[in-house]
Structure 1
Amino acid sequence: MGSAGSSPLVRLGLPAQPRPGWLGVAALGLAVGALGAVAWRRGWPRRRRRLQQVGTVAQLWIYPVKSCKGVPVSTAECTAMGLRSGHLRDRFWLVIKEDGHMVTARQEPRLVLVSITYENNHLMLRAPGVDQLVLPSKLPSSNPLHDCRVFGLDIKGRDCGDEAAQWFTNFLKTEAFRLVQFEMSMKGRTSRKLIPTAVQNYQVAYPDYSPILILSEASLADLNTRMEKKVKMEYFRPNIVVTGCDAFEEVPTSRRH
């Protein structure tokens, strides 16, 4: 590239023109100046962002089965699809009808009576009037897949087996039900298909809308000043309960009324 034989003028049969000496000096000066600027910027101390405490995490909750009771955890990882503690994921299990439509406490209020504990990678489900149900957190790949319908959107779910299906059917006593589990290889629902004006286009498994729900104790206290009958924190099923902040600080400014 730098030889005279490769010059475009030579290839055209014209004599190559020597570069003026000042051009090389100027190029060298620019290179030295650029390196000096980089060195100066690297040597300049970076301005650190000052972190400001806006609250304290008081509680962490994971709700494995949609509409059933939550599991308190001491630590959790915030993932793009919700809280995770080991193999325990938030709202990755769902009760469905035989046609695949979701079943929540809106249709079957008794689901809120199902309590869950988690030990040795197994979920233990308990409910009044039925024996304990033990479920592995990871299902065999041979279990069939179901086409499910959650708030009008299609999503897959792997069947948790006949024992789990019969357990929920016996407990709810209204019709036949099945239990399915979401897997990370499946495609989640996107929040903008539910709410087109959503700022963030979250991908979720079986939650209503967003992967994580935050609620502050101050917001609940403020709400209860307006209620004839006080409500409890668990009514809202938050994943993260925050203390030490003002009421509704967890709500984006654009959504406050």
Structure 2
Amino acid sequence: MSGAQGAAGVALRAARPLWLWGVAAAVALGAVLGAWRWAGGRRAAKRRGRLQRVGTVLRLTVYPVKSCRGVAVRQAEVTPMGLRSGELRDRFWLVIKEDGHMVTARQEPRLVLITVGSENGHLTLEAPEMKQVCVPVKLPRKNPVRNCRVFGLDIQGRDCGDEVAQWITTFLNSEPYRLVYFEPSMLPRKSKDIINLFRTTDEVAYPDCSPVLIISEASLEDLNTKLEKKVKIENFRPNIFVTDCSAFEEDTWEEILIGDVELKGTVCCARCILTTVNPDTGVLDRKEPLETLKSYRLCDPSERHLYKSSPLFGRYFAVDRTGTIRVGDPVYKMVQ
């Protein structure tokens, strides 16, 4: 054997164990993935075995800026803190006073006339008789972080800059307002600090209390049979609008499955004067549909400590399993 052949043999023998290790690793990985798929299949089969179809997703809406117009989407990612579509996350932007207190359509009803979108890494805002303004989603670090108050709880937000602040102030013809953005590294609010029935793991940015709100088409139709002037679903701002179920059936859903997303029912949504803001005109009525809802949608006396005198319309859900949901997806109730 020549010196060159001997060297080649030594190199081949040295390489052989590495090659064998690669094969072994591939086999092991395949076994792990197979076991994972098998276990996942068993879980899915078990879940399907106790599912009852209760509806169909009719509409999905993300509300990037609290109290501004929602963005209808065909599909959305459901995260632990609510719906996400691309760079738009549900209620991750908030209008505040200079002292940090939140501003919503309760105080400034014309907020509902601001249309929100996204374009080339920017949040876009449009409103009647106003030029479009753009805000980068990823804000410069030099922008100050502001301390805010949302329903009495402290939370932070990074200031979106003077241009959009002046734009909002001009459109609302109001005292100086600012726009802030909740960055994922910031500390969220605990839903349990707002309503005790939530779990310690349930968290939100700027929503009232919950990452997901669901209302059915039948509930809206039932309400409209009692109103002289019909209202739209935009008066109530749900994330998931469901059809193919009976009126207020959503109140009874404890655990539901949509796509690969699992949601847990928490509390019903106690309604306030925001529902009386006309979504097309930005005019605050202060009476309807709230007064009609109070005539037949008050809580049971045993729950008065929770809802007080507010009527109920829609149900809040927490996120047990994240994933993607689409318009047209069946809604299944998990039956024990």
The verdict on a shared fold, with TM-score over 0.5 as the criterion, is yes
Give the deviation of 1:184 after TM superposition. 1.1
For residues 178 and 125 of structure 2, the distance between their equivalents in structure 1, rounded to whole angstroms, comes to 14
Give the deviation of 1:82 after TM superposition. 0.4
1:71 aligns with 2:47: no
Q: Which residue of 1 aligns with 2:145?
A: 145
For 1:221-246, what per-residue CA distance to the aligned partner results, in whole angstroms no more than 9, with x for missing partners?
Answer: 11112223221101001111111111
- Ranked by relative contact order (alpha carbons within 8 Å, sequence separation 6 or more), the top structure is 2
TM-score by length of structure 1 reads 0.78
For residues 232 and 86 of structure 2, the distance between their equivalents in structure 1, rounded to whole angstroms, comes to 28
- Match of residue 48, structure 1, among 19, 41, 46: 46
Between 117-126 and 72-81, report the one with greater CA deviation.
Answer: 117-126
Give the deviation of 1:116 after TM superposition. 1.4
Q: Which runs of 4+ in 1 moved over 4 A?
A: 253-257
Q: Which residue of 1 aligns with 2:81?
A: 81
1:229 aligns with 2:229: yes
Give the deviation of 1:208 after TM superposition. 0.7
Q: Where do residues 168-247 of structure 1 align in structure 2 (5 Å cutoff)?
A: 168-196=168-196, 198-201=197-200, 202-247=202-247
Q: Which residue of 1 aligns with 2:122?
A: 122
- On the 8 A contact 2:165/2:178 being kept in 1, the answer is yes
- On the 8 A contact 2:126/2:133 being kept in 1, the answer is yes
> Residue type of the partner of 1:152?
G
Larger radius of gyration: 1
Give the deviation of 1:102 after TM superposition. 0.5
TM-score by length of structure 2 reads 0.60
For 1:21-74, what per-residue CA distance to the aligned partner results, in whole angstroms no more than 9, with x for missing partners?
Answer: xxxxxxxxxxxxxxxxxxxxx9xx997342332211111110000000011111
Q: Which residue of 2 aligns with 1:38?
A: none
Between 228-237 and 199-208, report the one with greater CA deviation.
Answer: 199-208
For 1:158-200, what per-residue CA distance to the aligned partner results, in whole angstroms no more than 9, with x for missing partners?
Answer: 000111111111111110010000011111111221122x244
Give the deviation of 1:117 after TM superposition. 2.0
Structure that is richer in helix per residue: 2
Give the deviation of 1:150 after TM superposition. 0.6
For residues 118 and 57 of structure 1, the distance between their equivalents in structure 2, rounded to whole angstroms, comes to 24
For 1:111-158, what per-residue CA distance to the aligned partner results, in whole angstroms no more than 9, with x for missing partners?
Answer: 011011222332221112221111222212221100001111000000
Residues paired across the two proteins, number: 213
SS of match in other structure, 1:223: helix
SS of match in other structure, 1:110: helix
**Structure 1 segments unaligned to the other structure (5+ residues):** 1-41
SS of match in other structure, 1:143: coil
